A and B are shown apart, each in its own frame.
Chain A
Amino acid sequence: MRSARNRELIALVPVALLLSAGFAAVFAQEQAEVGDLSLVYGAYFLAVCLAAHVYLRLRLPNADPYLFPLAALLTAFGLVMVYRIDADLARDQANWFVLGLVLFALAIHFLRDYEVLERYRYTIAIAGLLLLLAPRLPGIGQQVNGAYLGVKLGPLAFQPAEFSKICIVIFLASYLREHREMLIVGARRVLGVTLPPLKHLGPLLVVWGAAMFMLVFIRDLGSSLMFFAAFLALLYVATARFSFVAIGMAMFLAGAWFFASTVPHVHDRVQIWLDPYRDPSNTGYQVLQSIFAQADGGLFGVGFGQALIEIPGTNDPLLPAAHTDTIYSLIVNEVGLFGACAVILAYLLFAARGFKIALLADDGFSKLLATGLTAVFAIQAFVIIGGVTRVIPLTGVTLPFVSYGGSSIVANFVLLALLLLVSDRARREATAAARTGPLAPEPA
């Protein structure tokens, strides 16, 4: 399937051009002159992407041709936005991007037979939970804005939830692949509601418990929502029982409501969401400024590098956490509603390709793995964009590939590697099947 890789190669060129143009626009704004530096950056970026592309050509020739360019597009966009906020941060981000690609390559190298993951699923599940717990461990844990999301090991700081989401999706895909029949066959109808068999309810309650646990101990509504939604998505795809999803959703909402009224941090987040104007210069500041930044953008935005992030003449932030949580608001501010729609469209295309892989894959684990990874990725984008647009309470989740943050970039490239691994096999088998002729007679 050479043509798939050729399509990928062609798609990378406009991405590199977009990056160059973006940098050029930022330079033009800052120095009132356009040097050739933006082209140099564009060339570096293209070179790194080409290296990854050549690697894919060798190792996964049949993999989906659009996912990598889409990830590169989002990364390029993120780099320009982060550069526009702070050149030093952008340099870090570029390094993280390269490291992400290295891990991307390593994952592809070592997980070529990704069924091996199934064998270690409990180990992986425990690793995932430990990663989630790490921020609460004394000595290495870090509290950010009341939530426990960060870990600091010596000079290295990272957000373990980013990696944990991959571990948990792998576990759920494997677990549900094995037990889905049981969940379907053993289901009972009680009072008109289809309930899962009690024997298998246990593990599901464990997942619910884990989500509630995150809410209480990590105090992060966003990650908790993201994990649980991914779980429900997988449960639905595995069992085709909408009632399970409804029960799960009801349980989550009940739990979230209970903890929202007892855990102060979660309670505050919900209060701010409902009424940000109560304390506009303090607790409501971030979400209000996020919305004001969008109002400032309008249809077309004010242009790259033109939005206000700090109050001029001071170091006080006008848009707090512009490089991470509220980067989407900055995007709306600078490139307007149209630009923001393009970003959302990029995520939607990514999700479409991810689900396409799940549709093509022909074994249960591959299907569920691709579905889970795609769902958690799309839901993460929804949680943070929804947070800054006041669809849901604002929580500290990164915008995949775009936000500043090493863990986020690296973890999402590993996620992409897994998706491409599944894709390569699925498409290779599909092609092989087509070449040897249909197994079943095709309708004339």
Chain B
Amino acid sequence: MNSQIVKLFGLIVVLFAVLVGFTSYWSVFDAEALKEKTANKRPLLEQQRIERGRILADDGTVIARSVRKGRGDNLRYLRRYPEGSLFGHPVGYSFVREGDSEFEQFHNDELVGNESEFVSLLDELRGQTQEGNDVVTNLDPEAQRVALGALEAVGFGAVVAIEPSTGRVRVLASNPPYDPNRVPFELTELNQNELESPLLNRATQGQYPPGSTFKVVTAAAGLDTGAITLESTIDAPSTIDVQGQPLANADGASYGPIPLEPALTGSVNTWFAQLGEKIGADPLFDYMDRFGFGSTPAIDLPDDQVYRSGVFEGRDLLGRGDPVDVARIAIGQERLAVTPLQMAEVAAAVANGGTLMKPQIWSRVVDPDGRVTERLDPSRYSQAMEEETAAALTDAMEGVVSEGTGTNAAIPGVPVAGKTGTAETPFNDSCVGGGDNQAWFIGFAPADDPEIAIAATVECTDSFGGELAAPIFREVAETLIDDE
């Protein structure tokens, strides 16, 4: 019987080896995938036991912090947002049951202090519990408050302000706001509120027709490709015929042959439509790509919460080779849909001599001992245009504010460059009771040494960009320039 006993033991060894194999599979090899499963609440519950780091504004204002509840096995931390609805966008929220969003979600690893298993083990041996890091943002509470207040006075919309030379995001406001402290109690209501969609970050998820602000992109492409120079003129009658449909100037005036500067100052549609045709659809798409159209902006927010901008056919982006009406794209019509963040990047690229920096909300990570462990290293997204092109365009955009459609954006003693836009949105069903216009202003100041580039937009209004969005630009720009 002995040889059978030995074989039986061999079988037991094999069976136990299978157990070791399965245990290693679950605990090590498949562990990461298991932690991603929605049925697995452990990662969130574990995180709740870690004191999540704070999120701070540029001036040290606390935007989000954690408060301790219970003790022992019941110890957990809950998230509090002392500034309430001011930073609901773009900071988002983080709760165990409701999950997380926006900045809280993107910077989760830093906030909970996630490290490699090896480092965690060393910490454990040294008796240290995992602690979260603070993340300091570039956000300016005063300017954010001004932007949100200005929007609340006139309607739903968004304001994005970026420091052109670094890509630092100073303001990212979306109206209507929501208070993240209320999320545990009324997430369902917030989600179902289709009339206001308060959880939609209009700055990064609002997809609006850009109207005449897009002429900045067309002008950049025209100058940079050599299709025009500052001196070349295009004859701009009151109406031209494009693809069998008349395309008219907003004021109905006929301008005759004029160069870029008066065409931009007067936002002459027939002039830019012809420029668009002169450039051609494919080169125009090339320049749009350089500005970041067609891609998810490289901002530090979750990809699914930042939408792309471009020419859309339903949900699909059109590009080179697709049948499009380039004349109407050139004046910001056709099926163009853009986010306020994208238009702020357009202004920032012109302001920064044609170099577009990646927009970033975070500034630095500070560990629990107060040491800065990571610092934002501003990086280039693209060279959207030549420096000379940017300089020429800046001159033309200054004319818009000094004597054109954007005079409401003028700041006494500070040169301002900008462009207004008013897109008609007669088919926008979400504009209940409001007007049919999408009012825009994009620009930067001071024009000779830009500190801030801003896009402001208001949806569903009867007013024009110059009347409604330009003053918001001015208020926010004044706040930010005074700060410096």
Give residues in A with beta carbon < 8 Å to B.
30, 233, 236-238, 240, 277, 280-281, 284, 288, 291-300, 303, 308-313, 318, 332, 336-337, 340-341, 344, 347-348, 351-352, 355, 358-359, 364, 367-368, 371, 375, 378, 382, 385-386, 389-391
Contact = CB atoms under 8 A, between A and B. Distances in A.
A358 B18 CA distance: 25
Contact of B5 (A291, A303, A340, A371): A371
Given A291-B34, A340-B23, A359 B28 contact: no
Interface in B13-36: 13, 15-16, 18-20, 22-24, 26-28, 30-31, 34-35
A313 B74 contact: yes
Interface stretch (B44-52, B212-220, B311-319, B331-339): B44-52
A296 B42 contact: yes
A312 B75 contact: yes
Contacts of B46: 296, 308
Contacts of B2: 359
Contacts of A308: 42, 45-46, 49, 73
B180 to A, nearest CB: 20
Contacts of B30: 295
A368 B12 CA distance: 16
A355 B42 contact: no
Contact of B27 (A233, A298, A382): A298
A317 B414 CA distance: 64
B23 A298 contact: no
Given A312-B45, A364-B1, A295 B72 contact: no
B5 A351 contact: no
A288 B34 CA distance: 9
Interface size class of B (residues with CB under 8 A): 35 or more
B358 to A, nearest CB: 34
A327 to B, nearest CB: 14
Contacts of B26: 291, 294-295, 332, 389-390
B4 interface: yes
B27 A299 contact: yes
Contacts of A311: 41, 45
Given A298-B31, A344-B19, 10 more contacts: A240-B4, A280-B38, A295-B34, A295-B35, A300-B124, A312-B74, A318-B42, A348-B16, A371-B5, A385-B23
13 contacts: A236-B8, A284-B39, A295-B27, A296-B35, A298-B31, A300-B124, A318-B42, A332-B27, A348-B13, A352-B9, A367-B1, A382-B12, A382-B19
A340 B24 CA distance: 9
Contacts of A292: 34-35, 37, 39-40, 42
B69 interface: yes
Contacts of A237: 1, 4-5, 8
Nearest to B34: A295
A385 B23 CA distance: 9
Contacts of B40: 288, 292, 295
Nearest to A311: B45
A389 B19 contact: yes
Contact of A313 (B12, B35, B42, B69): B69
A394 B15 CA distance: 16
B124 A340 contact: no
B230 interface: no
Contact of A280 (B24, B39, B72, B117): B39
Given A308-B42, A382-B15, A390-B22, A355 B27 contact: no
Q: Which of A240, A295, A313 counts the most chain B CB atoms within 10 A? A: A295
Contacts of B19: 344, 382, 385-386, 389, 391
B20 to A, nearest CB: 6
A291 B30 CA distance: 10
B76 interface: yes
Contacts of A303: 124
Nearest to A382: B15
Contact of A310 (B39, B48, B73): B73
B121 interface: yes
A308 B7 CA distance: 41
Contact of A240 (B1, B18, B34, B73): B1
B412 interface: no
B70 interface: yes
Contacts of B3: 240
A355 B49 contact: no
A348 B12 contact: yes
Contacts of B76: 312-313
A89 B7 CA distance: 39
Nearest to A331: B23
A341 B20 contact: yes
B98 to A, nearest CB: 15
A300 B49 CA distance: 19
Contacts of A299: 27-28, 117
A312 B8 CA distance: 45
Given A281-B39, A308-B42, A318-B45, A295 B31 contact: yes
Q: Shortest 5 CB-CB distances between A and B: which pairs?
A: A280-B39, A295-B34, A389-B22, A295-B31, A294-B26
A309 B42 CA distance: 10
Nearest to B13: A348
Contacts of A336: 27
Nearest to B74: A312
A344 B23 CA distance: 11
A340 B39 CA distance: 24
A95 B44 CA distance: 38
Nearest to B35: A295
Given A351-B9, A371-B5, A337 B39 contact: no
Contacts of A386: 15, 18-19, 22
A277 B34 CA distance: 12
A378 B9 CA distance: 10
Contacts of B27: 294-295, 297-299, 332, 336-337, 340
A296 B75 CA distance: 18
Interface in B466-484: none
A311 B26 CA distance: 21
B320 to A, nearest CB: 43
